Structure 1
């Protein structure tokens, strides 16, 4: 009985199993087909967007080309107006050419007066350096050469002769200046136990509790405002002169004095 049952049921089970596998394959194929169609649709949309973008860019390019052409034409027109020869002048020259030729033929025999061209005088050193102070270096004859080589008599002073001139510059030098205040006391009052003390007046500091002097601050402001020298480069320059002046301090001096004294 069991064998007979298996012979009858086995074919139907086999066909049922094959049908189930075919349905699964068809379902997977349908899903792949749907995904492919969605991908194709998405690619079509992107292509349409690209076509629209290309069309927009082409329209923009055409507009820019027209604008460039108009601006180029306007620029050429301005060049002709500013740098070219006007039509009135050119026409006038054309109409005046025969008249000029006739006038030149008529005036060819008129003599012309001689004239000399005056050249501009060159500036002398005295004019160039007129604002600079003058310091004379006297070159005296040594004492052993003041006797006449012929007769041995002592020679007299005749004067000085200008030989040459040169320019000298004095480098900046930093000096520590200490203000010492004098104090006076009355000796008579001191004997009477009544001390009387008088103190000298001292100049007021440019900035309280600061070593800044007017000369030093003026140099900092001159280098910054006129020479356009940054504070960090001024710091190096002052350091070479033996003054450790940080850039923050120099900037503080500049701002404070500019607000209070300028």
Structure 2
């Protein structure tokens, strides 16, 4: 009887230990599940907020794209209107004519004012001499005047030509007789980029098309090729870098010197992605800061 009781006590002790271990495991599992639930709650909250943000952005972009606009935005800013640019940029009178509404009458002299700064070439159309015969009596007709018909603006495509630069050299014959060589060469303008075939006009066209007309270099490459010059985008990129270093960076530095002397400045921060930036992946976010003086600052405009 004593041995049986002892065995029973031992069995109860083992069962109690197993139960304690099981309870500990359950508590650990519950704690782990609670942590998982909190993590899922946090993720769910983040996704919910992000979804709300995306819905707001989507609604905003839809309003910008399809809603009624209070002002006309240039296509170069938003790049949203690729097919209706003509309708956005044309005069309102033309749209009224298309919709069969009566167009407003333009003020007299507007066209002449717009064409005053252009060169005018007079082109007169005449009748062949053999056709200057009166249909009534058959006699030869005589000129009595001419009539103005209309203006036409004529566009001439860009033309390229190569300017071969030479300079004359002079020698002193009197010194040569005495065994001395005295030469004099005419001066020539320094190249805009050393050891390059570009000219100020060609370089300025690349810069204007790139930064004013927003034309990428690969499109410029095709345009130059149509004009007869096989100009690679690599060469144009080199021109831009050298020109910025030699001509524009000194101007920027001078503008910076003037700006830091101001009491008040305006600034704008724009996030950008920069490729091949040392020490940073291409997906990282960089920033571009633009500073300007205030409108009331007369000194900045006088010193630049």
Larger radius of gyration between Structure 1 and Structure 2: 1
Q: TM-score, normalised by structure 1?
A: 0.50
Q: TM-score, normalised by structure 2?
A: 0.44
Structure with the largest fraction of helix? 1
Structure with the largest fraction of strand? 2
